[in-house]
Amino acid sequence: MSTKPVLFVVTSNGVKGKSGIPTGFWLSEVTHTLAKLDEAGIKVGFASIQGGEPPADGLDLEDAINARYWKDDHFRSAMRNTLKLEDVDSSRYAAIFFAGGHGTMWDYPDSAAVRRVVRQIWEAGGLVSAVCHGPAALVNVVLSDGNWLVAGKRLAAFTNDEERDVKASGIVPFLLETALKEHAADHQAAPIWTENVQVDGRLVTGQNPQSAAGVGEALRNLLKPRSVSQTASLPPTEGNSYVQNRQIQKAISYIEANFGSKLALRQIAEAAHMSMFHFSRLFSRIVGVSPHQYVLRYRLRFAQKLLCLQGIQRTIADIATESGFYDQAHFSRHFHRAFGKTPQAYRCEQKYTNRRK
């Protein structure tokens, strides 16, 4: 378990562009996420793009969690005195979390401080998380290898349909879902205003305010897992969700270590120490997709990364083999089905994008 705190980042922008409509950070996206970390004793720090007191939006004090924090002197003092992100030492933090609110769409994407701190925390093995419009912070982050952080990553963010529903699609400088997809993110959209939390390794994201508590829970679980000694004596029964999660995590680790080979369901179930029937049912319930679908998605994300690589040019056939597909035709068929374009077309798009950087 890490003893380092989580850095909460909020917008400093208080106006929706030329519209003049007031905005800021969305309060519940801070408080509902924070509540889950506070319950677990995980410390946090606060920063904003410009430092000082950021503008707040969504001040719904009929929400009990909002009201509790808004009346808390320590919380209010922390929010009045946020660090300027540019001055943050990223090595002090185990994770970074970007709250949403429409203000983020103007000051997150082009912030050099955002790009630096996210890259440093990610490349140091830390967690990166965001909710609602918070993933605007991730759109333009480029890693040291020259690839987009979000490329091939499964994530959630405020959807185009939700932007239209709040009649802001003509106000925001860009559509977040579209921008993430343009940088090869595997954006997962749920029906508007429903909870949707996506965890892809060390990346934790949520779609909307309804997802803030779930993002907090996911961060908590990754930062402060229960010790093995606390659960070693517990049998893997239907009621023991923690042991089940550990078994499924073993299976996921096995998949990610061996995805390039021809994986059989029996091998994955054995890695999780479960029968094939129980494993397949439990995996689908916990992860949300079947083991077969998970393997396929992981292979496709890996292939995306290979197609984005600059310098060494692999043939499509080589990428198909390295990603664990039977042959080039098998790979191309699944890639087109998932992304609506051929691997060749996708590679051409990435070359064009890289030239424009």
Q: What CATH number does the domain located at 293-356 have? A: 1.10.10.60
pLDDT confidence of residue 355:
59
Read off the pLDDT of residues 324-357 as tens digits, 9 standing for 90 and up: 888 898 889 888 888 888 888 888 877 766 555 4
Residues 50, 12 contacting (CB under 8 angstroms): yes
Distances (CA, A) of 153 to 202, 205, 288: 10, 11, 16
> In Å, what is the CA distance from 63 to each residue of 10, 70, 76, 128?
20, 10, 17, 27
HEC secondary structure over the chain: CCCCCEEEEECCCCECHHHCCECCEEHHHHHHHHHHHHHCCCCEEEEECCCECCCEECCCCCCHHHHHHHCCHHHHHHHHCEEEHHHCCHHHCCEEEECCCCCHHHHCCCCHHHHHHHHHHHHCCCEEEEECCHHHHCCCCECCCCCECCCCCEECCCCHHHHHHCCCCCCCCCCHHHHHHHCCCEECCCCCCCCCEEEECCEEEECCHHHHHHHHHHHHHHHCCCCHHHHCCCCCCCCCHHHHHHHHHHHHHHHHHHCCCCCCHHHHHHHCCCCHHHHHHHHHHHHCCCHHHHHHHHHHHHHHHHHHCCCCCCCHHHHHHHCCCCCHHHHHHHHHHHHCCCHHHHHHHHHHHHHHC
Two structure tokens written together for 289: 């997709």
User: Are both 6-223 and 293-356 of the same fold?
Assistant: no
103, HSE (Cβ side, Cα atoms, 13 Å): 24
For residue 2, the model assigns a pLDDT of 54
Name the residue ranges covered by the structural domains of the chain: 6-223, 228-288, 293-356
At 312 the pLDDT is 59
- pTM comes to 0.67
- Residue 269 is predicted with a pLDDT of 82
Predicted local confidence at residue 214, as pLDDT: 92
- Consecutive 10-residue runs of the chain (357 residues): their mean pLDDT? 85 97 98 95 97 97 95 96 97 97 98 98 95 98 94 96 96 98 94 90 94 93 57 39 70 78 76 76 76 83 80 80 86 85 84 59
Q: What is the pLDDT of residues 229-239, one digit of tens each?
A: 333 333 343 44
Amino acid at 292: H
Q: What would be the CATH architecture of the domain defined by 6-223?
A: 3-Layer(aba) Sandwich (3.40)
pLDDT on residue 67:
96
pLDDT value at residue 302:
84
